[in-house]
Amino acid sequence: MIHERIEVRPTVGALGAEIFGVDLTEALDNRTTEEIHDAFRRHLVIFFREQKLTPASLKAFGRLFGALSQVSFVQSVVPEHPEVMVIRREPDPTTPKINFGNAWHTDMSFAAAPPKATLLQAKEIPEHGGDTMFANMYLAYDTLSDGMKRMLEGLRAMHCAVDVYGPQGRVVNDEDARGTVVHSAPEALDEREHPVVRTHPETGRKCLYVNTVYTKRLAGMSNEESAPLLKFLYQHQSRAEFTCRFRWQENSVALWDNRCAQHYALNDYLGHRRVMHRVTIAGERPV
């Protein structure tokens, strides 16, 4: 598609692009919306600067990509806007606390139908640090050997939120440090089975779909039997040449495709406050 209404500037070769020439606080015409969708499909994660979105306008932009969903484990939301999650990290000058999203992962892969996309807006940012990294899972799959691709074909993996949102989950037990109020729920113990290699429903391309946070083991295997292959895939899919890094500014917005990209929120802003608003866009069962 030739972009007539927006300017698209790729960040690096692997993935990511900044979008200019659009004000997300205003209603977008069909052509502009189509061009943003095209950039999203091509670059997997797109970034916007200086977008003073209210919770209502953030939701309105998110709905251009699908229905919104709520994250049942997270209680920190904007009043009267339950679809807008508040991710808050309060200053702590002495102890390096847990950071929400501080590992390579795919949002909510433990769900039967994980999110299609995630929309994140920076409300308050530290003077330095707090960047987010993204990784291209198309490239991670494409660069595997033919033999490895054949081995992975048909394999499935078990995903579960127990280590994060279970009764002893690491974020459930660190509420004071993070400022993001999270509670446990019985569904945190549920396991879901998804393909190790999924096919993107819009592009038809194959991508890796395992992650360090929610993938527990390969289906039909023990943890010990699964560990060597999963360890290789985790290391492979986070190779530097598959990634980009985004430096947040106040009112920056990022939208990433949760089906073919992973992300990592860096925990390097000790002693500083960081507040983000997040909207989750509903997805489909991976195939």
Q: Which two tokens stand for residue 20?
A: 């200019």
Q: Tell me if residue 37 is catalytic.
A: no
Q: Tell me if residue 105 is catalytic.
A: yes
First to last CA, the chain: 27
Which residue, chain included where needed, has tokens 């299609």?
A: 116
CA torsion 86→90→95→97, rounded to 10°?
A: 0
Q: How far from the centroid of its chain's Cα atoms is residue 177's Cα?
A: 22
Catalytic residue among 178, 200, 217, 263: 263
pLDDT of residue 176: 45
- In the sheet where 132-136 sits, what is the strand order? 243-246, 132-136, 261-265
Catalytic residue among 178, 194, 272, 278: 278
pLDDT of residue 177: 44
Q: How far is CA 213 from CA 38, 143, 246, 262, in A?
A: 30, 23, 21, 11
Tell me 155's DSSP state.
Answer: -
The pLDDT profile of the chain, 287 residues, written as one tens digit per residue, is: 899 999 999 999 999 999 999 999 999 999 999 999 999 999 999 999 999 999 999 999 999 999 999 887 888 899 999 999 999 888 876 655 667 788 999 999 999 999 999 999 999 999 999 999 999 999 999 999 999 999 999 999 999 999 888 877 777 665 544 456 666 777 888 999 999 999 999 999 999 999 999 999 999 999 999 999 999 999 999 999 999 999 999 999 999 999 999 999 999 998 889 999 999 999 999 99
H-run or E-run covering 191 = strand 191-195
DSSP string, 54-88: -HHHHHHHHHTTS-EE--TTB--EETTEEEEEEEE
pLDDT of residue 169: 74
Q: Tell me if residue 278 is catalytic.
A: yes
Q: Tell me if residue 23 is catalytic.
A: no
Catalytic residue among 43, 88, 89, 105: 105
Catalytic residue among 43, 89, 107, 272: 107
pLDDT of residue 174: 58
pTM above 0.85, yes or no: yes
**CATH number given to 7-281:** 3.60.130.10
Q: Rounded CA gap, 136 and 271, in Å?
A: 31
Count CA within 13 A, CB hemisphere, residue 54: 7
